[in-house]
Chains A and B, each alone.
Chain A
Amino acid sequence: KNQVEQSPQSLIILEGKNCTLQCNYTVSPFSNLRWYKQDTGRGPVSLTIMTFSENTKSNGRYTATLDADTKQSSLHITASQLSDSASYICVVSPSYNNNDMRFGAGTRLTVKP
């Protein structure tokens, strides 16, 4: 069973609208949670990294939240742009070691004009 579950699998929104992507995890213990953006045909690019002591982290129009008690994270995208069309991947680590990361399958976001 995957320890990191993302929802929805895919999402279509209109340009300018906001959206929220969800990440639930069962990874334990917990060290840090990352969100990546992956454009079609490209490698993942880091958006945010949060440790257990942080409950929100922003990167421009992207805001990630973390509730370590309920083991949930969300990525909120404000005023979406066509360039936001991509897959968004949630990654959870039980330790600080970079070889110990659990990847979600991603949410595919399509922003339409």
Chain B
Amino acid sequence: NAGVTQTPKFQVLKTGQSMTLQCAQDMNHEYMSWYRQDPGMGLRLIHYSVGAGITDQGEVPNGYNVSRSTTEDFPLRLLSAAPSQTSVYFCASSRGYSGNTIYFGEGSWLTVV
């Protein structure tokens, strides 16, 4: 049971480039989300999904797109990378939308130069 799997682990982008961070979970969880973690700050929610075909914005959605075509996958797309998007990104999932244990992936370290 792999849990929540994120790829790539590390990525360096040039300003203006686009890329997709992949996230997959094998626990049949309805709820999936993306966070970013910056030094000295708590995790901040970028986008989330309560099921296939349903996505919504979190606290810091600008510059990011998501889609949820299957229960298992929830990719995060950076449309035109900016240095301010240098961060560590975590994908998370949970069974249901409310109050359940949230499982995080191992993180993706992104540097935009």
Q: Which residues of A contact B (CB under 8 A)?
A: 2, 4, 31-32, 34, 41-46, 49, 51, 89, 91, 95-99, 101-106
Contacts and interface: CB of A to CB of B under 8 A. Distances in A.
Contact of A49 (B58, B97, B101, B103): B101
B74 interface: no
Contacts of B19: none
A101 B107 CA distance: 19
Contacts of B31: 98
Q: What 6 A-B pairs are tightest by C-beta distance, nearest first?
A: A103-B42, A43-B104, A96-B98, A103-B43, A96-B99, A99-B48
B71 interface: no
A2 to B, nearest CB: 7
B104 A44 contact: yes
Given A45-B104, A96-B99, 4 more contacts: A34-B102, A95-B98, A96-B98, A106-B42
